[in-house]
Amino acid sequence: MGTYRPVRLGRLIQEKIGALIVEGRIKDPRVDSSLSISRVEVSRDLSYGDVYVSGYKSREGLLKGIEGLQSAAGFIQAQLNGQMRLRQTPRLRFHEDQGIRGGFEMIQKIEELLNHEGG
């Protein structure tokens, strides 16, 4: 099996989990629409999916959101299985991805420097 199928499956899982979050179907109070699924890396044998989560929350808020997603992993996997009709749904593991927040903080620092030099 090539690498194309795990990549394609990862993108589809990313889209489906993102939709579950935005639609508010994950009822854990730690999970809200400020969380974003930045990428999903599916193992070659399709048994695991590493889901990377980022967002605009503080690091503590992000980690709580990840805990909520991990707690709801069984529900999420059942939803994916029902929507995608896979023989085996990858077991999901959620991880922190600082991408969005890091980029946001970098832009803030650049703006502060520009305002400081210009003022």
At a CB cut-off of 8 Å and minimum separation 6, what does 29 contact?
A: 68
The pLDDT of residue 2? 61
This prediction has a pTM of: 0.81
Tokens of 34: 């400020």
Phi, psi for 104 (deg, rounded to 5): -65, -45
Q: In a structure prediction context, what are the per-residue pLDDT tens digits for the chain, which is 119 residues long? A: 466 889 999 999 999 999 999 999 999 999 999 999 999 999 999 999 999 999 888 889 999 999 999 999 999 999 999 998 888 889 999 999 976 767 778 888 999 989 887 65
Give the Cα separation of 112 and 119 in Å (integer): 10
Domains of the chain: 4-118 (3.30.300.20)
The pLDDT of residue 103? 77
The pLDDT of residue 20? 97
